[in-house]
Structure 1
C-alpha cells in the first residue's frame, strides 16, 4: 500500500476514473448483445456461433480474473490498470474492424483477457484509496450503482450506435473510455502493491481456466441434446477439475485464490449471490433484448430504451436501499431483493408475440429494478469486507468473476433451453413469432428460479441481522 493516502480531492477524482473503467467493463458485457442481430447478418454468423460473441468475452474474463487480481496485487495495481487499458483498447479496435464471425469472437476473447487485468486492479484501488468509514461507503455505493446500471446503459448505448452509426461502433466506442482512462490514470492514480509473498500460481491458473472452459463448453453442447455423451463428458471434466483446483489451493504455498478469501460466510455468500445476479444480467437480459427486436419489432435504439426502466428504478431507489441495508442488515435486505427480482422475472416469463411492452414487460422491469437495487449497493462492499490488503486484488477479482461465471454458464444453459423450447414449439405447428416468445419466456422463467436460489443463499449464509454488517458499511446512510 502507499505510505500515505492522496488528498481527499485527488481520491475522489481517482474514483471517477476508476468508476469510468468499471462502467466500460460492465457495459461491454451487454453493449454488443443488442448489436448481435445486425452483426450476425453482416458477418453471416449462425445462431450457434452468435452466442459465442457474448460467451467468449465472459469466459476469458472470468477464467483469468483471479490471475489478473494477483498480478494487480503483486506487480502493482496502477501498472496493471494502465497495461489493461492499452490491451483492452487494442482488442476493441480489432473487434470493431472484424471481417468474419470468428475474428469477432477472437477479439471479444482478447477483450476479456485484458478486462481480467483491469477490473480487479480498479476495484482493489478503490479498496486501498478508501480503507474505512463513510468515504468508503460512498465509494462502494458508486461502484454498486455502476454495476447495477452499467449493463442496461450498455443496451441503450449499443442500440443508439447500432441504429445511427454501425454495430462496429459498439466496440470502437471503447477507445473513448480507454483514452480518458489512460490520461486520468497517469495523472491521478497512485501505485500500490502487496508486500511479502508475491509468487504466482500458474498451475492453479491453468486448472481453473480448463475447468471453466470445459464446464461452459459442456453446457453449450447441451444445445444439441442433454443425452449427448460429449455434453456430460465435458461437464464431468469441468467439475472434476474444479475439485482439483480447490485441492491445489489448499496445498500450494502461494495459491491463486487463498481459501481464506472465500471461507468467510458473509463474503462467500456475497460471491454466490453475485453469480446468481450474473445469471440474470448477462444471460436472461440477452434474450429479453432479442424479444424486443425480433418479436416486438423494436429498433435497436428503442430496444435499448426498453431496458432503461429497470436502470431508472435502481438509481432512484439506491439511497433508500442503502438505508434499509444499514437498518435491517444483510439477511433481510439480500433475501427480499432477490425475491423481488424473481417476481419481476416470473411476470416477464409470460411475454407473448401479441402483447405490448407496456403491459407485458414494463411492470416486470420495474419490480426487477426494486429487487436489484437492494442487491447492488451492498453486495460488492460485503464481498470485500474484512479482506487483508495483501488479498485486495484477488478478492476484487473473485467478486467480478462470480458474476461473469454465472453469466457465462447461464448464456450456455439458456441457449440450450431456448433451442429445445423453440424446436418443440415449431414441431407442434406453432408459428415462428409465438414460438420465439414462448422460448424466451422459458428462459426468463428459469432465470427467476436462479434468483430464488439467490434469496435462499442469502437467508442461510447471512444469518445475523444488523450486527453482522461490516463496520465499513455501517455509516453509508449518513453519506447519502
Structure 2
C-alpha cells in the first residue's frame, strides 16, 4: 500500500515541479509559444487516458499496469531531462502523461482490491489519501525547493530516481489479485472517455485565454460533456465495460464523487498561493512545514476518521473535516512572510483534508469488486483531474505574488468550493460506509 501511495506522490511531484520549472525551461531553451503546451500537453494526455489506464489495470492486472507505467515514466523523464529543444521536450511530457495515466489508477486500484477487511481498508485509505487528496499540496514542499536550488534538468533526474525507487518497490513488494477474466477491451468506451475528457479539459485550458463565452471554448466543453454522456450510456450496452453500472449507482458514491470534484477544484485554486509563499521562507522552514502538514493530515485520516468512521458514520466526519479545511484556506489571509504565521492555516487545512480523505475514498470505492477496482479508480481520478483543471482555469491570470495577495476572491473561491463539497457531500452521503469490498471480492455482477 505504501508503494502505491509513493508511486502516486512521484507523479504529483513531477507535475508540481514542472509548473515551477517552466520559467527556467523557457529561458534555457528559448521557448515562447511552445511554453503553453509543456503543461497542457501533459495534462491532456494524463487526464484523457485515466479511465483507459484503469481499464487496463482490470484486464492485465494492477501490478503489471503499475510496472509498465513506472518503467515508461522513468524513460520519458530521462528523455525530457536530455531534451535539446522544444519538440523533444513537449513529446517527452506528453508521453510521460500517458504513463502517469497508468500509474495513478493502478495505485488506487491496488488499495481498493487488496484491502477488503474493514479496519485494514480504512487505515489503507487513510494513508493513501495523503497522496490522493493531499499530494498536490504536500509535493510543493519538495518541488519548490528543488526548483530554487537545482537546474530544471537536475530536478527531472531527482524525479527519475524517485520513480526508480517506486519501480523497484513495486517489482519486489507488491502482489496482486488476478485480472478480469475473460479479458475484453472496451474500445468504444475507451474512445468515448478519452475524447470526452480531452475535449473538456482542452476547453477549460483555452477558456481563460479566449473567454468563457468564446465559441471555441464553449464548443470544446460542450462536446466533452456530450461525449462523456455517450460514454455513460455506452456502459449499459457493452459486454465488458470499463466500469459496470453497479459501481456508480448509489447515492453515497455520487455524493463522494461530487465532494472529491469540488475539493480538487478548491485545492487547485489555493495550491499556487501556497507555492508562492514557500519561495520566500527558506529550506528549513519549508521542511518543517512539510512535517507539520503531513503529521496533521495523518492525524485526521488515521487517528480520527479511520477509527471513528464505523462508529459515527461518514457524514459526521466529512462535514467537520471539509469545513475545517475551508477555515484553513480562509486563514491564509492572515499569513505573513514566516512559517509560524501560517501554522494555524496549515494545521486546519491538512487536518480537515485528512478527515475527509479517508471518508471519501472509503465511500466512493465501497462495494467495488476487485476486478472492477481499476475502472473505478480511473473514474475517481478523472473526476479529481477535471475538478483541478477547472480550478486552474478559474485561477489563470490571477496575481499570486504574495500569499495574502491582492485577490481575496481567489481565497474565497477556494474556501467556497470546499464549503460546497462539505454541504453537498453531507446531503448526498446518507449513512456510515461499510468501508469494505464485497465479502467475496468476485461476487459483484459479471458480464457475459
Q: Same fold (TM over 0.5)?
A: yes
Aligned-partner Cα distance in 2 for 1:410–1:198: 37
Spell out, residue by residue over 1:282-323, the C-alpha distance to the aligned partner (whole angstroms, 9 max, x if none): 443024323554xxx456886676666433421344312433
Query: Residue 450 of structure 1: SS of its match in structure 2?
Result: helix
The alignment status of 1:463 with 2:430, answered yes or no, reads: yes
**Alignment counterpart, residue 337 of structure 2, candidates 324, 331, 356:** 356
Specify whether residues 229 and 344 from structure 1 end up closer, same or farther in structure 2 by C-alpha distance, changes over 3 A only: same
Specify whether residues 398 and 304 from structure 1 end up closer, same or farther in structure 2 by C-alpha distance, changes over 3 A only: farther
Aligned-partner Cα distance in 1 for 2:170–2:142: 24
Q: For 1:52-451, list aligned pairs within 5 A.
A: 53-100=38-85, 103-224=88-209, 225-290=211-276, 292-293=278-279, 297-298=280-281, 309-318=292-301, 319-348=303-332, 355-357=336-338, 361-415=342-396, 418=398, 437-439=405-407, 441-451=408-418
Aligned to 2:445: none
TM-score between both structures, scaled by the size of structure 1 = 0.80
Query: Residue 32 of structure 1: SS of its match in structure 2?
Result: helix
Aligned-partner Cα distance in 2 for 1:55–1:287: 20
Q: Shift of residue 394 of structure 1? A: 0.8
Aligned-partner Cα distance in 2 for 1:172–1:103: 16
Deviates more, 1:180-189 or 1:115-124: 180-189
Report if aligned partners of 1:59, 1:408 keep a CA contact under 8 Å in 2: no
Spell out, residue by residue over 1:111-151, the C-alpha distance to the aligned partner (whole angstroms, 9 max, x if none): 22112212222332333332224333332222123434433
Deviates more, 1:255-264 or 1:49-58: 49-58
Aligned-partner Cα distance in 2 for 1:190–1:433: 46
Specify whether residues 188 and 219 from structure 1 end up closer, same or farther in structure 2 by C-alpha distance, changes over 3 A only: closer
Aligned-partner Cα distance in 2 for 1:121–1:96: 26
Query: Residue 15 of structure 2: SS of its match in structure 1?
Result: coil
Report if aligned partners of 2:47, 2:198 keep a CA contact under 8 Å in 1: no
Aligned-partner Cα distance in 2 for 1:44–1:81: 35
Report if aligned partners of 1:349, 1:445 keep a CA contact under 8 Å in 2: no
TM-score between both structures, scaled by the size of structure 2 = 0.85
Aligned to 2:11: 25
Query: Residue 251 of structure 1: SS of its match in structure 2?
Result: coil
Aligned-partner Cα distance in 1 for 2:322–2:176: 37
Query: Residue 128 of structure 2: SS of its match in structure 1?
Result: helix
Aligned to 2:446: none
Aligned-partner Cα distance in 2 for 1:102–1:308: 38
Report if aligned partners of 1:63, 1:209 keep a CA contact under 8 Å in 2: yes
Aligned to 1:452: 419
Spell out, residue by residue over 1:390-441, the C-alpha distance to the aligned partner (whole angstroms, 9 max, x if none): 211111222222222211222123215x2xxx6xxxxxxxxx96899224x4
Specify whether residues 35 and 80 from structure 1 end up closer, same or farther in structure 2 by C-alpha distance, changes over 3 A only: same
Q: Which runs of 5+ in 1 are unaligned?
A: 1-14, 423-431, 474-480
Aligned-partner Cα distance in 1 for 2:37–2:433: 39
Q: Shift of residue 450 of structure 1? A: 1.3
Aligned-partner Cα distance in 1 for 2:320–2:23: 36
Q: Shift of residue 443 of structure 1? A: 2.5
Q: Shift of residue 256 of structure 1? A: 2.2
Deviates more, 1:362-371 or 1:70-79: 362-371
Query: Residue 168 of structure 1: SS of its match in structure 2?
Result: helix
Q: Shift of residue 101 of structure 1? A: 5.1
Specify whether residues 256 and 412 from structure 1 end up closer, same or farther in structure 2 by C-alpha distance, changes over 3 A only: same
Q: Which runs of 5+ in 2 are unaligned?
A: 438-448
Report if aligned partners of 2:298, 2:351 keep a CA contact under 8 Å in 1: no
Report if aligned partners of 2:333, 2:404 keep a CA contact under 8 Å in 1: no
Aligned-partner Cα distance in 2 for 1:276–1:217: 19
Deviates more, 1:50-59 or 1:71-80: 50-59
